[in-house]
Chains A and B, each alone.
Chain A
Amino acid sequence: MLLANNIFRVFVIETSEDLKTRNLLSLCNYTGYILLIVVVALVSVLLMRRANMRRSRKYDRYVFGLLIVNVLFSAAAIILSAEFTNLLICLPVTIVCMVIVIILNIKARKVIGKSKKAMRQGDDIYE
């Protein structure tokens, strides 16, 4: 979604001739960045709630560390995209951040995703 929004911005800047249309599309573009960070925030809070269901302390640092870094990199990627108009500057950083976030999400999902099954099996004893 972030990549799509960035490409949409290029379209807004380069192709739109009419000023009113351009301003409207630009508003949509920046609203898109805000919506993206809101989505990231909601997902992070949901993951946090999910992680809180698990009582195992040994996962605390790992899971919440993943979530915190996930939010930080997501916000960095979105803010950089919104701040810099030049894609050559912000795109590589954005892509790096996004790759890190995706990797972290997959890891977090693996850890948190086990929790329901583990809970059912009774191995989520709080130590």
Chain B
Amino acid sequence: MNKRSPFRVMLNLVLIVIVVISVVATGFVSIRGYCSNRIPEVYSDEQIAKVVKEEYSDFEFEMDDNWDVETLLADDKKSFTADIDIIRAKDLCSTDYGVKLTFKLVDGVWKAVSLPAEITLLNNEWFFENSEWSATEPDGTKYKVSFLDNLEAELCIQESPDPAMAEETSVNALAEEMAEDETAGEEMLEDESDNDGLNTDEYNMYEGLDGSNSADIDLNGEESSEILGCRLMESDDPAFFKGIFETAYDGAVILTVTEDAVKLKLSNEGRELTLTRE
């Protein structure tokens, strides 16, 4: 019969405990080692975009932003860089923002370790040059803005004639014609050079773009137009341009070009008109 002394039983127990501890410890170290040494797949574009949105929560992201993400895994496969371009395309402006992040493998998980302070503006391209925009008010007055080169803009205000005034003007014109017929014989005797300045129906005071304005006013009550010019100034915020047309009669008209709209603020009435592309 196999009799065991208490000392041997104790040695058996110690050995078994050590064996169990060894197996558990090795298993733990192995699993932890595998988790920390395995290299997960490089983040997808969506995951990188999510990280950027979390890290730069003060940046105003928009739903229709186009994300262009380029990743480059390091040779040791323990880190990768993500070059992120955020392209915001609007009707009148395409803005390109960029940020470059470095992700490092920490305990088997990618962590962003190199974070620039902010997302930088890389490029800002405007598309309004050489385009024409217009809006017509209910009273028939038409505002037409033409963008020229070098941030110059031209505003043409075409006012529709007042019907009552147009009728009165046409009667006056008929009376004048009759008077002219009666005095025609007398005028034939006078020097032809005296007639040069008398038949002026309209006057033109176009002065150019720098604070210029010109006006074609039809004294017969027909459509009259006023052409104004200005140079656009880029605001501190690169998201819009602003120009002020100085009118001869109604004060200033403020032109604002944002990323997706051209607007005119008629200072005399405080109204704002949104123009459409022609």
Identify which of residues 19-62 in chain A touch chain B, using a CB-to-CB cut-off of 8 Å: 19, 22-23, 26-27, 29-31, 33-34, 36-38, 40-41, 44-45, 48, 52-53, 55, 57, 60-61
Q: A23-B38, A30-B31, A45-B16 are in contact. Are A60 and B7 (CB under 8 A)?
A: yes
Q: Is there contact, CB below 8 Å, between A26 and B37?
A: yes
Describe B's contact surface by its main secondary structure: helix
In the assembled complex, which residues on chain A have CB atoms less than 8 Å from the CB atom of B38? 23, 26-27
Bound form: Cα–Cα A34–B15 in Å:
19
What's the nearest-Cβ distance from chain B to residue A97, in Å? 12
Partner among B3, B12, B27, B41 whose Cβ is within 8 Å of the Cβ of A55: B3
Q: Which residue of the partner chain, among B5, B7, B22, B41, contacts A19 with CB atoms under 8 Å?
A: B41
Evaluate contact between A82 and B3: CB separation under 8 angstroms: no
Report yes or no: A41 in contact with B34, Cβ–Cβ below 8 A: no
Distance A12 CA – B124 CA, assembled complex (angstroms) = 47
Chain B residues with CB under 8 A of A29: 34
In this assembly, does A93 line the interface, its C-beta being within 8 Å of a C-beta of chain B?
no
- Flag the segment in A68-76, A99-107, A109-117 that touches B: A68-76
Q: Which residues of chain B come closer than 8 Å to A57, judged between CB atoms?
A: 5, 7-8
On whether A52 and B22 interact (CB within 8 A), knowing A60-B5, A60-B7, A83-B29, the answer reads no
Q: Which of B1-33 contact A (CB under 8 A)?
A: 2-5, 7-8, 11-12, 14-16, 18-23, 25-27, 29-31, 33
Task: Chain B residues near A22: list those with CB within 8 A.
Answer: 39, 77
Choose among B16, B21, B37 the residue with the greatest number of A CB atoms under 10 Å from its CB: B37
Query: Are B12 and A41 neighbours in the complex by a CB distance under 8 Å?
Result: no
Partner of A33 from the list B3, B16, B30 (CB cut-off 8 Å) is: B30
In the bound complex, residues from chain B placing their C-beta under 8 Å from that of A40 are 19, 22
Is B19 a contact partner of A33 (Cβ separation < 8 A)? Answer: no
Which residues of the other chain, A, contact B18 by a CB distance below 8 angstroms? Answer: 68, 71-72, 75
> Are B3 and A37 in contact, CB atoms less than 8 angstroms apart?
no
A74 to B22 alpha-carbon distance, docked (Å): 9
Residues of A within 8 A of B14 (CB): 64, 68
> Is the pair B2, A53 in contact by a Cβ cutoff of 8 Å?
yes
Residues of B within 8 A of A87 (CB): none
Q: Would you call A67 an interface residue if the criterion is a C-beta within 8 Å of the partner chain's C-beta atoms?
A: yes
* Known A-B contacts A19-B41, A22-B39; A83 and B15 likewise in contact (beta carbons under 8 Å): no
Question: A78 contacts the other chain (Cβ, under 8 Å)?
Answer: yes
| Residue from A19, A27, A61, A79 in contact with B26 in the complex, judged by beta carbons closer than 8 Å | A79
Q: Please tell me if the beta carbons of B19 and A79 are within 8 angstroms of each other in the complex.
A: no
List 9 A–B pairs whose Cβ atoms lie within 8 Å, in order of A's numbering: A23-B40, A26-B34, A31-B30, A33-B29, A75-B25, A78-B26, A79-B29, A82-B30, A126-B3
**A69 to B20 alpha-carbon distance, docked (Å):** 14
